[in-house]
Amino acid sequence: MPQPWSAPVAPGPISATVTIPGSKSITNRALVLAALSGRASTVTGALTGRDADMMTGALRAIGVPVEVDGTTIVVGAHDGFHGPAEIDCGLAGTVMRFVPPAAVLADGKIRFDGDPRARERPMGTILEALRGLGAVVEGDALPFTLVGTGGVTGGTVTIDASGSSQFVSGLLLSGARYDKGLTVHHSGKPVPSMPHIEMTVEMLRTAGVTVDDGEPNTWRIEPGTVNAVDWVIEPDLSNATPFLAAAAVTGGEVTVTGWPSSTTQPGDAIREILAQMGAEVTLVDGTLTVRGPSKLSGVDIDMRDVGELTPTVAALCALADGPSVLRGIAHLRGHETDRLAALTAEITAVGGDATETEDGIAIRPTALHGGLWRAYADHRMATAGAIVGLVVPGVSVDDIATTAKTLPDFPAMWARMLDEAR
C-alpha cells in the first residue's frame, strides 16, 4: 500500500490562479468518434490521465493508430476495427461502456476486463442491449467477450438507464455505424447525469451524425458516416471543483482560467452550488473566480444531473455551519466505489455526522478532527479528503495517487495553490 499523504493545512485564506487539464468526458467521447470516422483527426487539449490512457490503449488494441504527444492526440486513418484483442478498461466507465458498442463492428473476438472494482460495476444493461441489436456477447459483466463479424444490424432497443447515463451515451456514439442506425428508448426511473447525454448528442451532431432527441427518453440515430473532426477540449470543470472549494472553505479566492461561457459539462453547476453555500462567484471573459464566505451555509440539493460533484460538495457540507441533504444520487452506489457509503464512512471517521438516505446523504454540522481518509481507488474521494484537510489538521489520504485517473499531477497542483497563499 502507498504511504498515506498528509493533506496540507491552508496557512490562511487561499489566493491562487489555477489552470485545469482537459475534460475526461469530452476527451474520451472525441477519441471514440475519431476512431469511428476511420479518417485522421486531432484532439487538442486532451486529458493526460489514466482514463485517457485506457481509452487510447483500447483503440490501439482494435487496430486504430493513435499517437500521443502531451495533450495532443492524433487518431490516424484506418480500414476498420480488427480482432482478436484484449482490452483493459482499468476503472474507466467511459472505456467499459463506450468501447464495446464500437468494438462490435470489429471482426474477431474482443475480450474486455479491468480492475477488481470494475468487475463489480453495472454492465448488464449495455451488454444486453448489444445482444438485442445483433451482437454476440459472452458474459454479463467484466470480464466479457464480444464475437465480432465486422458489423451489426442495429435497430431499436429499450433499456433501463437509471443506473448510468453512460449506457445511453455508449450506444449513441456508435449508432450511426450500425446497418439500421439506432433507436434507444429508456424505460425506468429518471436517467441520472442528463448533461452527459446532452454532451454526447452535441458532439455527435458536430461530427455530422443525425440525432433526433425530440421525444422524452428516446434517442434516434440515423445510419451513416461519422465525420472526422479536429476536436479542441475544454478544461475539466468537475476537476476544477476541489480548487474552487478550497477558496470556499478557507474564505479565500481562487481563479480558474479557460472556463467556457457555454458548456454541457455537469461541472458548471458548481457555480450555483457555491453561491447557495454563501460564496461569491463571478465569470468574466472565461475567467471564473470564487471568493469564500466567512461561514459556509448548508444546502438541500437534488444532484441527480451532477452526481459527479457529490464528493466535493459533501466535503463542503461537512465543513458548513448548517445541515445539508444531497438527494437524487442513489446511482452513485455503482460508481468507482459506492460513493454514498464511502463518503458517509470517511466523514464519520474524521468526526463528522453523516448518514446515508435512500437516494443520497445527510450531513449535519459538528467539529471535525484529524484521521485517515480512505480513497477507495476513487479520484474524487481522494480530492474530497484534500478539501477537508485544508482546514482540519491531521487529515491524511491513504492513496492520493488515485487522482492520476483524471488529474495526473494533483498533489503538485494542490501544493502550488497553497504556495501562492503564503
Task: Please tell me whether 193 is known to bind a ligand.
Answer: yes
Task: Please tell me whether 331 is known to bind a ligand.
Answer: no
Task: Please tell me whether 396 is known to bind a ligand.
Answer: no
> Residue 272: which H helix or E strand, with range?
helix 270-276
Q: How far is CA 25 from CA 104, 318, 376, 377, in A?
A: 22, 28, 21, 19
Exposure letters 209-219 (e unless 16+ CB within 10 A, then b) = bebebeeeeeb
For residues 253 and 380, give the distance between their C-alpha atoms in angstroms, rounded to a whole number: 22
Task: Please tell me whether 15 is known to bind a ligand.
Answer: no
43 class by beta-carbon count within 10 Å (0-12 exposed, 13-18 middle, 19+ buried): buried
The conformation of residue 399, written as its DSSP 8-state character, comes to T
- Joined together, the cell numbers standing for residue 270 give 458548481
280 class by beta-carbon count within 10 Å (0-12 exposed, 13-18 middle, 19+ buried): middle
Task: Please tell me whether 185 is known to bind a ligand.
Answer: no
Q: Helices (H) and strands (E) in the chain — how many of each?
A: 12, 23
Task: Please tell me whether 93 is known to bind a ligand.
Answer: yes
For residues 210 and 220, give the distance between their C-alpha atoms in angstroms, rounded to a whole number: 8
| Closest C-alpha to 390, from 29, 27, 11 | 11
Q: Please, how many CA atoms are within 13 Å of residue 208, restricted to the half-sphere of its CB?
A: 12
For residues 99 and 62, give the distance between their C-alpha atoms in angstroms, rounded to a whole number: 10
Task: Please tell me whether 109 is known to bind a ligand.
Answer: no
308 tagged catalytic: yes
For residues 200 and 366, give the distance between their C-alpha atoms in angstroms, rounded to a whole number: 41
Q: 340, 307 in Cβ contact below 8 A?
A: no
For residues 34 and 42, give the distance between their C-alpha atoms in angstroms, rounded to a whole number: 8
- Count of residues in the chain: 422
Catalytic residue chosen out of the listed positions 234, 308, 336, 346: 308
Residue in this structure with the C-alpha cell 442495429, named with its chain if needed: 154
- Joined together, the cell numbers standing for residue 134 give 445483433
For residues 365 and 90, give the distance between their C-alpha atoms in angstroms, rounded to a whole number: 37
DSSP 202-248: HHHHHTT--EE--STTEEEE-SS------EEPPB-HHHHHHHHHHHH
Task: Please tell me whether 164 is known to bind a ligand.
Answer: yes
Binding residues for phosphoenolpyruvate, by number, are: 24, 93, 121, 166, 339, 380, 405
Binding residues, by number, are: 24-25, 29, 93, 121, 164-166, 193, 308, 335, 339, 380, 405
Binding residues for 3-phosphoshikimate, by number, are: 24-25, 29, 164-166, 193, 308, 335
- Catalytic positions are 308
